[in-house]
Each structure stands twice: as C-alpha cells, then as structure tokens.
Chain A
Amino acid sequence: MMRYLLFVLLFLLVPAQVFSFGEKLKRPKAQDFGNVVINSYSEAKGEAAVMFPHWLHRAKFTCRLCHVDLGFAMQAGGTDITEADNEAGLFCGSCHNNKISFGPLIDHPALGKIRQCERCHSVGKQIKMKNDFREFRRQMPRERFGNGIDWMAAEDQGKIKLVDYLEGISIKRKEFKKPEDFKLTSAEQKMPQIIFSHERHAVWNGCETCHPEIFPVKKGAQPYSMQDIFAGKYCGACHDKVAFPNIDCQRCHTDSVY
C-alpha cells in the first residue's frame, strides 16, 4: 500500500518541479548590484570567499584598468587568482599593496601590525565596510537601475575621477581618437534602432575590453540577437552584470522606428 502511495506522490510532485515558468526573477538590490563572489581557492583552503564590490572600484578606476591592464577576466572565477599572485603584485595585489590601497598586513600607528584578510574575504561574515554604499550614493546623481547611480553623469560632473593608468603596469597611450557612433538595426519589425555610442563606452573601456574578443572589429561580421545578450554574450558581457541592466530597453533602443 505504502508503495502505491509513494508512486502516486512521485507522479504528482514531478510537474510541480518541472513547470516553474512564467514568473519574474528577483533582481539584486542596489547595494548588491555588480558584486562578485570570488571563490577560486578560498573556501577550499578554509578561508571565507571574497566579496568584490564593483561599485567601490568603478568609482575610482576605469573598467579597462582592471580588465585589460591587470588581466581580470570578465566572468567570476575566470581569473584564477591565488594569494601568491596577489602577494607578487599581480591582480588585486597591483593596488592592494599598502601603497595605493591597503595590503594584507597594515602597520597601524597605535595597534601595530593588523591583518586585513576579512576586508575582502568577507562572504558569510558580518563585516562593516569602511566605505558605506548608501553614504556614497547620497553624493552621486541618481539613476533608476543597477546601483541606482548615474555613473556617466557622475563622471561628467566630476564627482568621480577615474584612474586609467598604473605606474609600472599600464603603458602610455596616445590620446584616444573617437570613432563615430553607429546604428544597429533590430531584426524585429517596429523595434526602434539602437544607437551605439563609441565615445560613451571608450572612456571606461578603451578599445581592448570589447575588441576583438567580444565584438570582432569588422562591422557586421558577427550578427547577434537580444537572446544572446540576455544570455550574457556581446553587450550582456557587461550589461546586467555591472553596467546598467538589459531591462533598460529604451536606453539603447533610442532611435525612431525605421
């Protein structure tokens, strides 16, 4: 008898698990948008994983500096950082070396040497960050999505000044020559065209963040769809993860209907 019941239960439970469609997914809160958990080796070595706050770093540095000059991958866990790398001055260690920013061990004038591990290895711990998100955001122009900060306006207004050069690591580059904006036509009829601004992107990314890996340099060489973007490819490599999310349709689809 019990066996019958078990089978009946199983039969009834299967559809409930399979059909979880047609619902809205939860979006991250403003303070969590862009945060990345880095756990290549941490937990395996008995250390808490790293919670990397994108908002705090993008308020000071260009995307290009970390993702090109320092060689950070565009996907969490893709960089394969080790503590030895950091200590050798690579990746996080390029700045977190007690010169540009705090290192693993700081020399406090009163308390002597203090380990700083928990400032980054903070996942699952109640660590109060030195830089408070809400306090920072109150100084910034507001925007409706992502961190709730209009990063481009913040930059235009001089409220953030982005460092794009690290001595000893970056190379001196020529003044950036602006390529022209261009239009992308949607395959869907009556969908407004996209106007892509190279100028807007180049301030943060240079050329190398996107070309030639994410986008080939030859125009039209690689057609891509909105589904690809939703799946995290092409524009979706940054937008939805760190840059403003894909839900802001009208920010890209700005042109009139063709």
Chain B
Amino acid sequence: MNFCRNLLLALILGGCCTLNAFAYYHLPRLPPPDQYGDVVMDRVSSAAGEKAVVFSHWSHRSRYSCRVCHFELNFELKAGETEISEEENRDGDFCGACHDGRRAFGHTEEHCGKCHTGPLVDRYKAFSALQNRLPRSRFGNRIDWAAAQQQGLIEPLFSLFRAAEQPMPFDKRLVLMAEWNWVPPAVFDHAAHNPWLDCANCHPDIFNIQKKTTKHFLMEFILKKKFCGVCHFSVALPIDDCHACHPAMKK
C-alpha cells in the first residue's frame, strides 16, 4: 500500500517536472548571423599544442552542398564526432579531400593558421560581402540559402566524385499533421532538400523509410535536436522560423 502511494506521488511529481520542462522550453539564443553554423573542432588540436579549428559553415555551403561533406566525405553531424586527424587530411580524407593545394589551400606549414585559428576569429567582412549579394531571410545567417541556390546566385557543388551526378528526381511532398489540432500541418518537400542533401543523409538513420512509423517524430523531440532538429538548429534554417515548415501558421 505504502509502495503504491509512493509510486503515485512520484508519478505526479515527476510528471509535473517533465511537463514544466516542455511548457517552458526556450529556444537557444541564436549567434550573430556571421557566426551561425560555426563549429569549433578541438578533439585533439589543443592537446597537441595546436590552436582549435573554427569551421565556418556559411563559407563552405555557398560553394558545396551539404552532401559533399556529410555524405561523400563522411563528416558526422556532431562537432568532434568525426575523429579527423592531420594524417588523414594529408592523405586526402575529410578536409584534405579539397584542401590539397589544388582545389583549395593545402595542408602545408604556411596555411595552418587559416583553419587552426583558435576560437576567436572575425570573419564579418567576408561574411557581409557574401550576405549582401544574396537574398535575405529572418533567422540564422539571415541568408535565404534555398532561394540563393534556386536563383543561381550560388552554385553549390553536388558531387566531388561524380561530375554527372544529379539530385534524385524524387519530389514527393509530405503533409505532416501536427499533434495539437490548433497547429497547422508541417509541409515537407523532398524537392527543396534534394539539391543539398542525399537520401542517405536522412534515411534510414534519422528518418526510417517505413511509412508512418517514424516513432516519436514530435516537436518535443525536434526541440531536442532529433529528426529535423539534427540540422535545423545548428546550420540549416533555424527552428525559430515556424512559418517556414508550418506554412499556414501566421507570421
């Protein structure tokens, strides 16, 4: 009896804590537009007496699709998870696939400081020059990357290995009903993602391919950086822009 009372109390108490956590969820504060998407890589650098690497997503995504690095070059989606080593870079893996002295500056002594900058680096000038020639959006880098690509203002490379490879013609549009009936449905457009990503960036790890069986595909998990939140918190159009995915929602 005593056990049951304890369990009931615990459930109520625990339930309240959990609900509170969801009810008062605060979106993380966005960094300034020129720093949105920047990643500090310091898995081994500091320990080896070298400054940490600051990787700027905006400068790379203006020239390369997400797919080149996160699919063809096997970069993981979380900072520090890829286990990049200088030896591998010099052997043409990871950063070294482009930073080889031909496509981009190489891994030679005089260039170390270009990536191993330490965490404080001001790239504002280069950023604003890029931002000024591209259509704007309200959040993140405040650049509408999708529009920039559609208008041909940037031409992100689709494949580093196969020049003829084109995005899959798979353009299925999904209308995803929200859990709450006062939230209009989210519209997912495969065609909008295809110029940047490969099928395998999302399937089957992040979203399995069985119909209507992606378990717990709810906003509360997206807010925990799962599913859409894997990209749409840190690099892609940030989650702050509700209207972008729930188009019927008032701005």
Interface positions of A (Cβ within 8 A of B): 3-4, 7-8, 10-12, 15, 19, 21-27, 29-30, 134, 137-138, 142-145, 148, 189-192, 226-227, 230, 246-250, 253, 257
For residues 209 through 251 of chain B, which have their beta carbon under 8 Å from a beta carbon of chain A? 209-210, 214-217, 221-222, 226-227, 229-230
Instruction: List 10 A-B residue pairs with CB atoms under 8 Å apart, sorted by A's residue number.
Output: A3-B6, A4-B9, A4-B10, A8-B17, A19-B226, A21-B215, A22-B226, A142-B161, A143-B161, A230-B204
B77 at the interface (CB under 8 A from A): yes
| A25 lies within 8 A of B18 (CB) | no
B198 at the interface (CB under 8 A from A): yes
Chain A residue at smallest Cβ distance from B77 = A24
Chain B residue at smallest Cβ distance from A256 = B169
Min CB distance B227 to A, Å, is 4
With A and B bound together, what is the CA distance between A191 and B168 in angstroms? 8
With A and B bound together, what is the CA distance between A143 and B162 in angstroms? 10
Pick from B76, B199, B200, B216: contact of A22, CB under 8 Å:
B216
Chain B residue at smallest Cβ distance from A257 = B169
Chain A residue at smallest Cβ distance from B200 = A247
Chain B residues within 8 Å of A189, by CB:
172
| B226 lies within 8 A of A21 (CB) | yes
Pick from A8, A23, A145, A148: contact of B10, CB under 8 Å:
A8
Chain B residues within 8 Å of A15, by CB:
18
Pick from B87, B209, B221: contact of A21, CB under 8 Å:
B221
Chain B residues within 8 Å of A190, by CB:
169-172
B160 at the interface (CB under 8 A from A): yes
| A27 lies within 8 A of B74 (CB) | yes
With A and B bound together, what is the CA distance between A69 and B31 in angstroms? 61
Chain B residue at smallest Cβ distance from A11 = B14
With A and B bound together, what is the CA distance between A25 and B207 in angstroms? 11
Interface positions of B (Cβ within 8 A of A): 6-7, 9-11, 13-15, 17-18, 71-74, 76-77, 81, 83, 87, 91-93, 160-161, 165, 168-172, 198-201, 204-210, 214-217, 221-222, 226-227, 229-230
5 smallest A-B Cβ distances: which pairs? A7-B10, A22-B226, A11-B14, A247-B200, A22-B227
Chain B residues within 8 Å of A23, by CB:
77, 205-206, 226, 230
The residue among B74, B76, B169, B217 with the most chain A CB atoms within 10 A of its own CB is B74
Chain B residue at smallest Cβ distance from A134 = B91
With A and B bound together, what is the CA distance between A7 and B9 in angstroms? 9
Chain A residues within 8 Å of B168, by CB:
192, 249-250, 253
Chain B residues within 8 Å of A226, by CB:
209
Given A19-B221, A23-B226, A24-B206; A138-B17 close (CB under 8 Å): no
Chain A residues within 8 Å of B216, by CB:
19, 21-22
| B77 lies within 8 A of A4 (CB) | no
With A and B bound together, what is the CA distance between A149 and B13 in angstroms? 56
| A249 lies within 8 A of B200 (CB) | yes
Chain A residues within 8 Å of B14, by CB:
7-8, 10-12
With A and B bound together, what is the CA distance between A30 and B71 in angstroms? 13
Given A12-B18, A144-B73; A26-B81 close (CB under 8 Å): yes
With A and B bound together, what is the CA distance between A22 and B226 in angstroms? 5
Chain B residues within 8 Å of A27, by CB:
74, 76
Chain B residue at smallest Cβ distance from A10 = B10
Chain A residue at smallest Cβ distance from B70 = A24
Min CB distance B90 to A, Å, is 10
Chain B residues within 8 Å of A24, by CB:
76-77, 201, 205-206, 230
| B206 lies within 8 A of A22 (CB) | yes
Chain B residues within 8 Å of A22, by CB:
206-207, 214, 216-217, 221-222, 226-227, 229-230
Chain B residues within 8 Å of A248, by CB:
200
Given A138-B91, A249-B198; A11-B165 close (CB under 8 Å): no
Min CB distance A186 to B, Å, is 10
Chain A residues within 8 Å of B214, by CB:
21-22
Chain A residue at smallest Cβ distance from B73 = A144
